[in-house]
Amino acid sequence: MAKIIVITSGKGGVGKTTTAASISMGLAQRGHRTVVIDFDVGLRNLDLIMGCERRVVYDFVHVINGEANLSQALIRDKRCDALYVLPASQTRDKEALTKEGVGKVLETLSQTYDYIVCDSPAGIEHGANMAMYYADDAIVVTNPEVSSVRDSDRMLGILASKSRRAENNEEPIREYLLLTRYVPERVQRGEMLSVEDVQEILSLELLGVIPESQAVLNASNSGIPVILDAESDAGQAYRDVVARYLGEDVPHRFLDTRKKGFLSRLLGS
């Protein structure tokens, strides 16, 4: 049985797709058979971030409607054999994702894969509900900014009440906080909510902190999940996140400002 992970947030633009791409790549690189699914019907973007947009023939909705089978729609990643992408439909109506249809696809995938990563659309509408409904674990992507934190909290309420696990009175979804676009310098100046602040408000287990990084834009420009940029801070932070998710005890990095010497501070460099 596969473990189903939803990457969610409520608010848009906080880094869900970047995170889904990197975490699925990270899991696959460690040898786990992984499939990442784009639930954003109508506004698909995961294929672009994964760099497989020109290989999309069939999509998630085709499979649900029986117009294609899974093996036709799944795109094998060229960089990692253990990773497959199931793209969203660009044209269809959001309602095309039915609870039964999604459930069937996930059940079939469950038999072959170790991890199913669901990239949720923004908002708290149908697509987001479908992405989280069958989840075992949820990674709540949050920026250190008021509207993002509030939306994350609303999403936590939905995870706790509207998921399959909640409806069946099963053990609740395991929820993790992933703080992205973090700028330690601004936190130190008191201009940005700190990790501790956000954690205190949301009371969630911290899976990791991804620093604001030029590498993220570079990666999306070229269609390469940023985790593959092993030199970059964001890439390394995502590697840590994957290790931590798999139960390894990895200390948090990139939380502090780079230490400046007395002289360089004095000279303002």
Partner 1 sequence: MDLLKYFRDSQPPKGSARVAKERLRILVERDRSGRNQNQPSYLPDLEREILAVIQKYVDVDPTDVIVHYEQEESQEILELNIILPEGASETGQVGGVP
List interacting residues with partner 1 (CB under 8 A).
Answer: 145-146, 149-150, 153-154, 157, 161, 187-194, 197, 200-202, 265-268
Q: Which is nearer to partner 1, 22 or 129 (CB)?
A: 129
Q: In what order do the strands lie in the sheet with 205-211?
A: 75-76, 83-86, 34-38, 115-119, 3-8, 137-142, 174-182, 205-211
CB of 67 to partner 1, least distance (A): 39
Q: Which is nearer to partner 1, 170 or 191 (CB)?
A: 191
Paired with 133 in beta bridges are none
Q: Which is nearer to partner 1, 125 or 197 (CB)?
A: 197
Paired with 84 in beta bridges are 35, 76
Q: 110: Cβ–Cβ under 8 A, 6 or more apart, which residues?
A: 1, 2, 4, 116
Q: In Å, how far from its chain's centre is CA 263?
A: 41
Q: In 98-251, where do the E strands start and end?
A: 115-119, 137-142, 174-182, 205-211
Alpha-carbon distance of 183 to 238, in angstroms, equals: 16
Q: Which is nearer to partner 1, 251 or 261 (CB)?
A: 261
CB of 61 to partner 1, least distance (A): 32
CB of 208 to partner 1, least distance (A): 20
Q: Which is nearer to partner 1, 179 or 193 (CB)?
A: 193
CB of 73 to partner 1, least distance (A): 37
CB-side neighbour CA atoms (13 Å) of 113: 30
CB of 98 to partner 1, least distance (A): 26
CB of 200 to partner 1, least distance (A): 8
Q: Could you tell me the two tokens for 125? A: 């509408």
Q: Which is nearer to partner 1, 56 or 128 (CB)?
A: 128
